[in-house]
Amino acid sequence: MATNRTFTMIKPDAFAAGNAGAITKIIEENGFTIKAMKLTKLSAERAGQFYEIHKERPFYNDLVAYMSSGSIIAMILENENAVESFRTLIGATNPAEAAEGTIRKLFATSIEANAIHGSDSDENAQIEGNFFFSDLEKF
Ligand code: ATP
Ligand code: MG
């Protein structure tokens, strides 16, 4: 995957609230091109694998339960400086600290149920894209 790509997930709270369309529109309006997209649901085991880096954190078990509680939409996005510019677009982890106009400010309901994920490095964008899309060479 080139360095102009990032990976995102619309999380279960945002999908269940019917915000997937609005969030996708904001993503596209901000210059991101959707290269791959999948509506799916994570098992607790897969959610635990995805967030394995947080295994020792006190919120890990709740995070796994939340991320496996409903449907999610996984996407690979392309833009200039994709990883950093997407993290700016989604805003701070805690919506109370997220800047005005960011996706988390608009749609997140708590520090846990924060509507959307964004990869934090080019390396993780590639790892996370491969986690959901086994046929990446097509995109
Ligand atoms: P993400 O990796 O989902 O894009 P992030 O990089 O902003 O989010 P991380 O520190 O990687 O934040 O945390 C991963 C996810 O764990 C958060 O998005 C949130 O859903 C949950 N989380 C983080 N901190 C807390 C906390 N203190 N209490 C409850 N849940 C939390
Ligand atoms: Mg993170």
- Residue 2 pLDDT more than 50? no
User: CA 31 to CA 111: how far, in whole Å?
Assistant: 26
Q: pTM to 2 decimals?
A: 0.95
Tell the residue number behind the tokens 């060479």, with chain if given.
137
Tokens of 65: 């339960």
User: CA 32 to CA 75: how far, in whole Å?
Assistant: 11
In the predicted model, what is the mean pLDDT of residues 11-36? 98
Q: What proportion of the chain, given as a percentage, has pLDDT over 90?
A: 94
Domains recognised in the chain with CATH numbers = 5-132 (3.30.70.141)
Is 117 designated active site? yes
49-52 own/partner pairs: CB under 8 Å, 24+ apart = 49/131, 50/128, 50/131
Q: Which residues line ligand 1 (CB under 6 A)?
A: 54, 59, 63, 93, 111-112, 114, 117-118, 120
> Collapsing DSSP states into helix, strand and coil, what is residue 135?
coil
